[in-house]
A = this chain, B = another copy of it.
Amino acid sequence: MAQKPRMEFLQGTLDVLILRTLRAGPVHGHAIAKHIQSASEDLLQVETGSLYPALHRMEAKGWIAASWELSEKGKRARFYRLTPRGKKQLESEQSKWTAFARAMGLVLADQEGA
């Protein structure tokens, strides 16, 4: 069971996971990936080839803003934080996800007794 879903499973969900992670404050890319993985109990695993393009996309859209700073380990790292537009986007995407998950549940649970 739990055959390692990864992101390939669901295109379009990475954004909301990143936005949600940033809600707690500025975080750099590497830490975002680790947070998503640990918060999901290792069920979700974000590859760098997905993560960084996603961050760049979202920065270009004005959802997040970045600055170079030093990580806890003293290394140069790009810290991202939510912009006001990003906060709105997070709310929007989160409610979209909720609606979608509910819709899936409706179909998958349909006439369960049959």
* Interface set of A (CB-CB < 8 Å, partner B): 1-3, 5, 8-13, 16-17, 20-21, 23-24, 36, 39-41, 43-44, 92, 94-97, 99-108, 110-111, 114
Contacts of A105 in B (CB 8 A): 101
| Residues on the B chain within 8 Å of A102, using CB | 43
A30 to B41, CA, bound (A): 40
Docked-complex contact B36 and A107, CB < 8 angstroms: yes
Q: Dominant SS at the A interface? A: helix
A39 neighbours in B (Cβ, 8 Å): 106-107, 110
Contact status of A103 and B12, CB under 8 A, knowing A20-B108, A96-B5: no
Given known contacts A10-B12, A39-B110, A106-B39, is B24 in contact with A99 (CB within 8 Å)? no
